[in-house]
Structures are given as C-alpha cells and as structure tokens.
Structure 1
C-alpha cells in the first residue's frame, strides 16, 4: 500500500497529535533503548552492524523532527506576520537545517552519499524553476530536495502525499511554506499544484515526481498488465520500453507549466537505489558504502519547453526515455550504480540544453 492510499488524519486528530508528538517521541525513544543495546551486541555477529545502525538512526531522525516542530512553535509564539519575508525566510532556514541534519545522520549511519555525474545548471537567473524528478528507491525525495537546496541554492516547494500530515513536524513546516499535500480523493487534485506554481518566487523551485509513485519492478509489471487489460496497448508498449522508470503522468507537470510558463524546467535522474524496493533488499545493502546516489540533471529554458498540452506530453515522454537510458547506462544488472565513464566527475561537464 502506497502513501497515496493512506487517508490523512482527521482534523481533530491532527490538532491533538502535534502537542502530543514530543511525548510520543519520548515513549518511542524509551522503547528503542533495548533495540539499540541488542543491536550493539548483534554487531559482534553482523559485522555491518545493521540493526545498531538502523535503530540509532531512527531515534536521531525522530528527534530532528521534534526539534523542527518545537522551533516552529517558537517562531509561531512571536509576532505572526505570515505574509512577511522574515517569516518565510525563518522557516526556510529551519527546513534547510533539518534537511542538512537528515542527510548528515543518514550519511554517517548508513553511508548514503549523493554524487553528481555532471555539473548542474540551475536555469536562468531570476526565473523560477520546475524540477521533474525520477521517483525510485528509499531516500530519493530527501536526497533530491537536499541537493536542490544546497547545490542549486533553491529550497524546493514539494508536492506530497496527504498521508504525511500524520507527521506533525512535516505537516507544520511545509504547510507554513505553502507546500501542497495531494488529497487522496477530490474533484480537483491539481488546484494546489497550480497555486504553488503561480506563487513561486524567482529563487524558488517546485519539485514534482511525474511518475506519481516509486518505481519498483513489481509496480512496472502491474502497470503493464493493467494497461493491457484496459486495451491501452500503445501505453503498455511504451511502459515495456521503459526499463527503470514508469511512464510519466503529464497532468501535474502540465498544471505547473501552465501556471508558470516563464519557469525553466529541470529534469532530474538518479541511479543507485531504484532496485532497493523491498525491506529485505534495503537491509541487505546497509551500509550503502560503494553504492552512491548518482544524480544527473538536464535544464531547459522556458522558451524551449512546449506550451501546448499535447506537444508537452510528448516532450515529457521523450525526456523520460532519456532518463531511462541514463539510469540503464549507470546501473549494473544487479542494481549497483556505476559511472559509465569513471573519468567524468562532478563539474567536468555541463547538463544544460
């Protein structure tokens, strides 16, 4: 069951959950102490210390979330001028710090390393940016958001599943930063995407995952089967051609493009973690040393992106074919990332079109 199918907390539960969240964290931390101790002893048998690593990381990330929530309360306790640039800047800095902490602890405890294969181009100065990213593997949303914030210098606004409102820290800060939680049902699920895109500042980036869900081999197979049953053989054939990605859904990306036709468009591909699609495979890969999260981006000026919905859909489908080819070239049959040309390192080329 994906996050999209999980309903959000009812309003009364959502209001009650936030003040109780630190107490929940204390209780969870207490329950995790025996697990951490057991993991320390288990490391004598498991040289990779997987249980110890995961248990410690879970506690640390929980308290990063609590710290973010408490700092949100502190900001809200003062003068609440939600329309002021200072209000937004304070929350953007808080989210950036949280992303840095999440990546730091994930790198330290699990060995997650993000590595660019080419120089990133961030679009035209003083233009907003729409980032369309591949969605596959654990940590990909976190890694891409952090990369945009720290490398591109653009803190992303993110389209998220509404189920993430169960986390009061995520709910509070991203609501204040006008991110959009896609409802699990409703007549117009794209209204928030249009609103976010329309309100982008020149230094902002809107992060969208056009596939709509994490790619896994089983999801790819089920999608092809479902399209065949519906009689949509053209799309099924296209889905079969794409080995490492799902066919992109155009509606969300087009809604953003339509709302901000002046925004440049970045396509984000990544390799290395897509095949870690089950808890067993993730567990077997920990720690992730020798498995970098490889990233490649392509950026188009707004004038070079189609402004007709049919042509845009074909354009996006072609881009996703390029993403699939790049992922295939940078992934072994076992799902291990590899540089097609080891001599090419970050900064040695350009990803501008």
Structure 2
C-alpha cells in the first residue's frame, strides 16, 4: 500500500509531462504514447486505491452480520466491487489504447446462461488478456469466476483483498507442484451453476522463446510425442497437465461443461518495447470459444490428456485461421 500511494505522484508527473509534450509528438508524427501510458497508469493506481478503501468499507458493513451469512454477503459484495473496477478499467482502455474486442460466437448475456457450472481453459497471450476474460465472464455473462492466477498478482493490494474473499488459487513461482494441483482441483469440487473456474493451462503468456523452452523441456523429460505435437503448434504453449487434469478430475462430480477460449490481437506485445510500439492498437482483439458438454469429456488421465492436447491444437488452428483471414503472417 505505501508503494502504491508513492507511485501516484510519479504517475501524475508523467501524465503532466505527456500532456505538455503531446503537441510536439503530434508534429513529429508520434502517437502520444507517453500521455497514453501515464494516463492509464494513474487511472489504474487511483482505481486500486479506491478499491482498497471500498473493500474495507464492505468489510465493515458485513461485520455486524451473523456468521452464517457474513461470508456469503462479503463474497457477493466483493464480486460486485471487482466488476465495477474491471468495468471502469476496460471502458478506459478503449479511448486510451484504442482497445476493441470482437467475440464470436457472442457471449450469452446474464440470465441466459445454461444451468450448469463451467470450466474455462483460455489461451494466455498479450498484456491484460486475463483481466479482459474475467471482465467478460463477470460483467457480460453474469458468472462468478474463480481464478487460478500467479502469486505475483498479490502485490496488487485491491486484487489481493478481493480475490482472497472469493474461491481462488494463487500459483507460486515454478508452478507449486502437486500441492497446487490439489488446490486447483478442489476449486471445481463444489462448483454450482453460475460459477466458473478459469485456468490458463500454458502457465504464462505465450512467447516464441517460451515455446522453444517448453518443447525442449518435453524432450528432456522423454515426452517425445507431446514435444512433436507442440512443435506443430505455432501459436500456443503446450498445456501444463497437472493442474489441468486436477481441475477436470475435481469437476467430474459437479458435471461441469468445459469452455475453450482462443484469442488473437495482442500476440506480438510480448515485451516492454513491443508493448510501447504497439500502442495505440491497430487491430481489435478477436476471440472465439467453444463448449464441450460434461458427458463428452473422457474419463481417465490418459484419455483426458490426449483430449486436452487435441483441444489445444484446435486453439492453435483457430489462431492460424484468424491470421490467414486478416492477412497476418507467422514468424
């Protein structure tokens, strides 16, 4: 919290500098990137600080309630606060960064969701894609997401408070091993309709370097068949199986359908330099998804591993089709 508050001053100074140099950048044909980044950085910091204050106020409101209802009420209000924060940041990213999104098929609006719980396996590529996915599930579909996310995000004070009030799993550096896999599986055990567990099976943002390292690791560990399939996939990392299979095992009793999400548009923004030069965005973020009913998910670890690899190959194929359709080329 002190660090967050201390960063607000420099963010404001950067915003003022960006505003003062904006006319010059227009003359030389620049895209006012300093102004854009500093404005959004300040907005994010202020949103985070406001979120912490609001989270504390929610806790105080719930404190007098009976213990039997306090946690449920606190969770409901925390989801509502998280939705407002994500909604504000998402709407601000449009004019600041030129963010546009197209989703096909369209996300069913709240109230039209099938009465079964869901597992969402999503591609991870580009800055902010996880926040956009949670925003879509929470604000557009009206679902309650339970997210598997990196422990590093606990450095964000409002996220640390709000996520810890709802079912979640923070993954430590290195993946966490069997214990983390058990925690991921436990998330899905008691899923109810209207609830969804979100997992990014790749374990991190896609980059060509990470793809090469993942393939090399598969070969070193004797997983030659998986390495060969990962070699053929150009746009995704091979899914990490322990957490993914644990989630499918945990959801078996809940009869959860599985949704796969593919997207492209932020792929090339995989370093500070590429993020800087990629703003404002020149193309929309395009996303597609498909749903597998619970009865169609195979039983047994071996069959599920093969099935998940097939689905991930479909994610890669979807991205290739989008690149071909829009005239983009793979490196």
Give the TM-score of the pair, scaled to structure 2: 0.88
Kindly indicate whether the alpha-carbon contact (under 8 Å) linking 1:121 and 1:299 is maintained by their aligned counterparts in 2.
no
Distance 2:89 2:188 in 1: 26
Distance in 1 (alpha carbons) for counterparts of 2:327 and 2:33: 20
Q: Which runs of 5+ in 1 are unaligned?
A: 1-20, 338-353
Residues 154-180 of structure 1, C-alpha deviation per residue, up to 9 Å, x if partnerless?
131100111211222111100001211
2:212 corresponding residue in structure 1: 221
Corresponding residue for residue 94 of structure 2: 107
Unaligned runs of 5+ in 2: none
Instruction: Identify the match of residue 37 of structure 1 among 5, 16, 20.
Output: 16
Give the aligned partner of residue 47 of structure 2.
64
Which digits, 9 at most, give the CA deviation of each residue in 1:65-97, with x for residues without a partner? Answer: 111111110111133356533222111111111
CA distance in 1, matches of 2:75, 2:207: 36
Give the distance between the partners of 1:187 and 1:79, measured in 2 at CA. 35
CA distance in 2, matches of 1:156, 1:230: 34
Alignment partner, residue 76 of structure 1? 59
CA distance in structure 1 between the aligned counterparts of 2:146 and 2:136, rounded to whole angstroms: 13
Alpha-carbon distance, 1:332 to partner: 5.7
The whole-number CA distance in structure 1 between the counterparts of 2:327 and 2:88 is 28
Q: Pick closer, same or farther for the CA change 1:204–1:83 going to 2, 3 Å.
A: farther
* Structure 1 residue 61: Cα displacement: 0.7
Give CA deviations for 1:318-351 in whole Å, capped at 9, x if unaligned.
Answer: 01111101101112699959xxxxxxxxxxxxxx
Name the CA distance, whole Å, in 1 between partners of 2:209 and 2:156.
28
Instruction: Name the structure where helix makes up a greater proportion of residues.
Output: 2
Match of 1:282 in 2: 275
**1:212 aligned to which of 203, 206, 209:** 203
Report what 1:303 is aligned to.
295
Deviation at 1:272, TM superposition (A): 0.9
Alignment match, 2:160? 171
Residues 128, 200 of structure 1: 8 Å contact kept:
yes
* Cα drift, residue 258 of structure 1: 1.2
CA distance, structure 2, for counterparts of residue 300 and residue 124 of structure 1: 15
Find the aligned partners of 1:72 and 1:332 in 2 and give their Cα distance: 45
For the structure 1 residues 120 and 105, does the alpha-carbon distance in structure 2 shift closer, same or farther, using more than 3 Å as the test?
closer
CA distance in 2, matches of 1:44, 1:73: 42
When residues 54 and 331 of structure 1 are mapped into structure 2, their CA distance, relative to the original with a 3 A threshold, is same
User: How many angstroms apart in 2 are the aligned matches of 1:268 and 1:301?
Assistant: 15
Higher relative contact order structure (alpha carbons within 8 Å, sequence separation ≥ 6): 1
Q: Is the 8 A contact 1:124 1:264 kept in 2?
A: no
What residue number does 1:202 align with?
Answer: 193
How many angstroms apart in 2 are the aligned matches of 1:101 and 1:38? 24
State the TM-score, normalized to the length of structure 1: 0.83
Residue 190 of structure 1 aligns to a residue in which SS? helix
Instruction: Spell out the pairing of 1:122-161 with structure 2 (5 A cutoff).
Output: 125-161=114-150
